[in-house]
Amino acid sequence: MLKKKIEDICNRQVEREGYSSNLYLAMASWAETSGFAGIAEWLYAQADEERGHMMKFIKYINERGGKAIIPAFKKPETEYTGVEDMFKQVLKHEEFITASINEIVELTLAEKDYNTNNFLQWFVTEQVEEESSVMTILDKLRLIGKHNMYQFDRDIMRLRTSASDEAETT
């Protein structure tokens, strides 16, 4: 049985992962309607992953005797000033999610909830992969500059980390 404090913070993470999915959907829609089909594909795939993360928390909370709460989500921005600025926002958001996961890990240690701590280790690894993947994209964007977006858009799906995809299927 989950302690209430752990159940509550895991439900907070349900909202954060669900919002992440919607945020990347909003970015994907912006990219798709701005002529960046490849970037949109990357973001749609990322949105699916985030929904998967939300589902992992929902299932875990319910399996451990708690009750997952499905929240309303804040509406993400619909317009972005450019691809690089948008990916900077993705990185900032992923850093926020990493800090959020770490906060739950700290609480599980304080509460001696080793089962939840074990459940969270997948997310700890996943966040390293996600931040690294976005940093690679930002590095590439800096290298190619603003004038070769056609090539970047064509190639971005190759930058998806296989470890992240593999982890998602386990």
Residues lying near ligand FEO in the complex (CB under 6 A) are found at 17, 20, 50, 53, 94, 97, 130
Which is closer to ligand FEO, CB of 117 or CB of 149? 117
Rounded Cα–Cα distance for residues 33 and 153 (Å): 13
The residue nearest ligand FEO at its CB is 53
Helices (H) and strands (E) in the chain, counts: 6, 0
Give the shortest CB-8-to-ligand FEO separation in angstroms.
19
Give the shortest CB-88-to-ligand FEO separation in angstroms.
15
Give the shortest CB-96-to-ligand FEO separation in angstroms.
9
At 163, the amino acid letter reads: A
Rounded Cα–Cα distance for residues 57 and 13 (Å): 7
Which is closer to ligand FEO, CB of 31 or CB of 56? 56
Which is closer to ligand FEO, CB of 19 or CB of 149? 19
Between helices 162-169 and 37-63, what is the axis angle to 10°?
40
Which is closer to ligand FEO, CB of 23 or CB of 149? 23
Rounded Cα–Cα distance for residues 19 and 141 (Å): 25
Residue reference for tokens 């913070």:
9
